[in-house]
């Protein structure tokens, strides 16, 4: 049996603090597991190692943690790789800022590591959060993620002995074609690390995630940031694990913590056989 987990965080603008909290949560998740039978997929939220500051600070962090020997494998990736190996889990590192070749922007990258700490795949967030939310939230908050973030261009399916995992990030959930493409590539599970705003989360978060699970007949693991952050931003939390039938298997509404559920691949086969949905997509 494979275990699915999401860790909900209230990340700070302090990498060391966030790494310590993630390590504590992973220790609790894996404390009762037999070390000779590790089958565990864990998802962290978007901006898991640094949140609560502006995007310019994220760019500075990406630059300062890049290494000359391997600029695409920065110090932040190495730290999460160490955690995956230490706790022997397949770890989807929410997102990590990685500086672009030009050095003027960073990618908001979801990185997947196996239980040996090896990088399995990296997905750069495609759909950036450039939104005027005045009409939506009743205030003058605006988000312009593309100012310092370079959008990704390609999908990413990570094939593991446990399952095929499609990687997405936060605002991507509003774009069903991406999820259809990942399913056509063979996804069994799709991960959605997020930092949804409180108001849009309350309105749409669960509905969108259930829709993506139902229409693609996949497990969804959505790990969120939650609470009020140092820059005043409020995130929705409500981390979820959803079945291929759209059932809520686990939910953590508020606070930092973890949720878990079992992954049953036979359930995907049963649902897809009973109700075939054909995806006719160019990938």
The three-state secondary structure class of 135 is: helix
Q: Let me know: does 41 contact 5? Beta carbons within 8 Å.
A: yes
3-state secondary structure 144-196: EHHHCECCCCCCCEEECCCCEEEECCHHHHHCHHHHHHHHHHCCCEEECCECC
Residues marked active site are found at 46, 125, 170
Q: Let me know: does 19 contact 83? Beta carbons within 8 Å.
A: yes
Cα distance between residue 201 and residue 256, in whole Å: 17
Please, which contacts does 197-202 make with residues 24 or more away whose CB atoms are closer than 8 Å? 197/133, 197/137, 197/141, 197/233, 197/234, 197/235, 197/236, 198/234, 198/235, 198/236, 199/133, 199/136, 199/137, 199/138, 200/133, 200/136, 200/137, 200/236, 201/235, 201/236, 201/237, 201/238, 202/236
Tell me the two tokens of residue 270: 């049963």
Cα distance between residue 137 and residue 200, in whole Å: 8
């Amino acid at each position: 049996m494979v275990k699915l987990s999401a860790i909900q965080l209230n990340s700070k603008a302090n990498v060391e603090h966030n790494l310590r909290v993630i390590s504590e949560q992973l220790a609790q998740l894996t404390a009762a597991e037999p070390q000779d039978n590790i089958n565990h997929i864990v998802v962290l939220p978007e901006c898991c190692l640094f949140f609560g500051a502006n995007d310019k600070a994220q760019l500075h962090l990406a630059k300062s943690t890049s290494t000359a020997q391997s600029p695409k494998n920065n110090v932040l990736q190495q730290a999460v790789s160490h955690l995956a190996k230490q706790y022997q889990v397949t770890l989807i590192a929410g997102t990590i800022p990685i500086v672009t070749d030009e050095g003027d922007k960073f990618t908001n990258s979801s990185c997947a590591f196996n239980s040996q700490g090896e990088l399995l795949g990296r997905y750069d967030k495609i759909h950036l959060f450039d939104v005027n939310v005045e009409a939506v939230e009743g205030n003058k908050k605006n988000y312009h993620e593309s100012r310092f973030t370079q959008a990704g261009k390609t999908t990413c399916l990570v094939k593991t002995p446990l399952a095929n995992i499609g990687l997405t990030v936060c605002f991507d959930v509003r774009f069903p074609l991406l999820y259809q493409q990942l399913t056509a590539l063979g996804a069994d599970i799709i991960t959605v690390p997020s930092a949804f705003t409180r108001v849009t989360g309350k309105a749409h978060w669960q509905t969108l995630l259930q829709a993506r699970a139902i229409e693609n007949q996949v497990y969804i693991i959505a790990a969120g940031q939650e609470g009020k952050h140092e820059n005043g931003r409020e995130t929705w939390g409500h981390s979820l694990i959803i079945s291929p039938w759209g059932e809520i298997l686990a939910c953590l509404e508020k606070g930092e913590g973890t949720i878990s559920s079992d992954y049953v691949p036979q359930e995907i086969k049963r649902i897809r056989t009973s109700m075939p949905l054909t995806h006719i997509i160019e990938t």
